[in-house]
Structure 1
Amino acid sequence: MMGSSPRFDVYGCNFGWGKALAVRSGSSNKFDGKLMAFPGWNGDGSIDLEVCLLPEYMAVLEKDEEFLAVVSAPIEFGVLLGTSGKKV
């Protein structure tokens, strides 16, 4: 397991399963207000954010038009795999 290293290519590391579909911090490392930034899946300078919020705060954020105007829709696993699938 690798954590908090800007030099570790999280999407370039191949354990025999191909390119990772998503990167997350792990279930034991979650608390309200936590934000983790990872290099974007496309490798084009974008970033993927993992935002941990209580459900009531997430519901408010999901209705914030200013926020929604600057974020991308979740990546669909099916798009990455070439099949229909679940959203990340």
Structure 2
Amino acid sequence: MANSEVQWNPGSNLLERLTQFAQKRGQTTEAVITEAVLSYLQIQALDDNAIDDDPLVGLFAGSPNLATQSEDILQQSITETSGWTWKQEQP
């Protein structure tokens, strides 16, 4: 349900500051408000798409330096039974 009429009653101090700001920029108060709201919505959209909100982040445990230190990380993980081994015969 769309409402084409918005009622907004800012405090007198805010309205005065907004009016002065708009006059300095040579714009109407409506244009300044529109620009501010569009900017706010754009920032919110970016925040909604932030990597911190990605459900896959943190799903895999590992070093954040994997791309640059993969060989070192692999060497640290080597144990006596690492690699190809022969299976022992079971009785």
Which range, TM-score by smaller chain?
A: under 0.3
TM-score (norm 2): 0.21
- Greater fraction strand: 1
- Which structure has the bigger radius of gyration? 2
